[in-house]
Amino acid sequence: MKVLKKEKFPQIWQAINQAYELYLPIEKDDRVNFAQWTEGETVNLEALKTEISPKDVIFPQSETYLKFESDGKKLQLESVESENREYVLFGVRSCDAVSFNLIDNVFLREPIDRLYEKRRNKGTIVSLACSEPEENCFCSSFQIKPEEASPGVDVAAWDLGDKILWKPVTEKGQVLTQKFAQLMEDASQQDQEELIKLQNAIKEKVKELPLASVDPKVIKGELKEIFESKVWDELSQSCLGCGACTYICPTCHCYDIQDFAGGNCGERFRCWDSCMFSEFTLMAHGNPRTTQKQRFRQRFMHKLVYYPNNHGSYACVGCGRCIEKCPVNMNIVKVIKRLGGEG
């Protein structure tokens, strides 16, 4: 293990940024979100979680992949290759780190999404343990342990006050560590003892959170029975179909393909979409889900039933963003409790 002293952060950011694109939690207008670092930015590693998950670093909200130009009856196509350098995503919380693995299950299985694969492979993920989990967090409901190194991260880090304890986990993490070893120190026995105390403290805090008892396993029954439950009629009535929950969710991965044409040339791009929108999957014959109840049900059936049936894990990481941001206070916790039989 290594130690990074916080007083050296400016040097560390500069050094990493010379070899990689560096993404950090950047504070602007009282909001913290992951963004590419440039000198003078306000880095906030104290914020528990960003307003929006960092998934747009590995799966951009909008991404052009094809340009086209027509000349009479001739059509010229040009594939747009990503020119981004290798990047470091520094300060990812456990819930968001696990969400990357859930998205991988969709895009990196056959047929592999090469656009996603290329960008994903360029990244080195540095996680940061949650020293102070908040009341809307319920990651432990999905077997996520914020005090430990999350599966899939390249470097695990813990905040010890005036320093960060740094543990390379993968070969990528080792390469990153070796490149900037001159800015780090070896962890002492005392540092490792502090880490154990911190991890134990985090465990106890997680147990005491208001939503610690939320358990998706309370949802039982056959697929048809769950699908036809009257709970969907009741809960969907308040849904506005605004899609905010899908855009801030770390695991939502639906997208649309659009063409932007101007005269005899244009480009094709993909962009995030939401199953909560009335035009989602709109085709020539119409939309297969014509009511808000159907769209609402699809979102939560996917996260709590369909995805687990296909991949063996729930498509939720308990980050709590949907609890905080839904304008009508509707969220996956309420759905789990109602499907589990709670009043």
Q: What is the distance between the alpha carbons of residues 61 and 79, in angstroms, rounded to a whole number?
A: 19
Closest C-alpha among 270, 273, 272, 255 to residue 80: 270
List, in sequence order, every residue forming a beta bridge with 167; answer none if it has no partner. 156
Distances (CA, A) of 180 to 185, 192, 208: 10, 21, 38
* Same domain flag for 137 and 278: no
* Same domain flag for 138 and 112: yes
Neighbours of 182 (CB within 10 A): 8
Are 44 and 247 in contact, with CB atoms under 8 Å apart? Answer: no
* Same domain flag for 102 and 241: no
* Same domain flag for 184 and 63: yes
Q: 3-class SS at 93?
A: coil
What pLDDT sits at residue 106?
A: 94
Token pair of 233, please? 């009629």
Neighbours of 278 (CB within 10 A): 12
Q: What is the distance between the alpha carbons of residues 189 and 195, in angstroms, rounded to a whole number?
A: 10
Which residues make Cβ contacts (< 8 Å) with residue 174, sequence separation at least 6?
Answer: 168
Q: 3-class SS at 121?
A: helix
* Same domain flag for 180 and 264: no
* Same domain flag for 190 and 238: no
Which one of 207, 241, 276 terminates a domain? Answer: 207
Q: What is the distance between the alpha carbons of residues 210 and 30, in angstroms, rounded to a whole number?
A: 26
Query: What letter does residue 279 receive in the DSSP assignment?
Result: T
Edge-first strand order for the sheet with 74-79 is: 74-79, 62-71, 265-272, 255-262
What pLDDT sits at residue 343?
A: 62
* Same domain flag for 274 and 307: yes
* Same domain flag for 195 and 235: no
Which one of 207, 229, 252 terminates a domain? Answer: 207
Q: What angle do CA 57, 59, 65 make, to 5 degrees?
A: 115
Q: What is the distance between the alpha carbons of residues 93 and 146, in angstroms, rounded to a whole number?
A: 8
Number of domains in the chain: 2
* Same domain flag for 183 and 108: yes
* Same domain flag for 185 and 226: no
* Same domain flag for 227 and 121: no
What pLDDT sits at residue 151?
A: 86
List, in sequence order, every residue forming a beta bridge with 80; answer none if it has no partner. none
Low-confidence ranges of the chain (pLDDT < 70): 82, 284, 343
Q: What is the distance between the alpha carbons of residues 102 and 97, in angstroms, rounded to a whole number?
A: 9
Which one of 185, 207, 229 terminates a domain? Answer: 207
Q: What is the distance between the alpha carbons of residues 123 and 100, in angstroms, rounded to a whole number?
A: 11
List, in sequence order, every residue forming a beta bridge with 127; answer none if it has no partner. 92, 156
Q: What is the distance between the alpha carbons of residues 91 and 23, in angstroms, rounded to a whole number?
A: 9
The parent domain of residue 25 ranges over 2-69+76-207
Q: 3-class SS at 235?
A: helix
* Same domain flag for 192 and 248: no
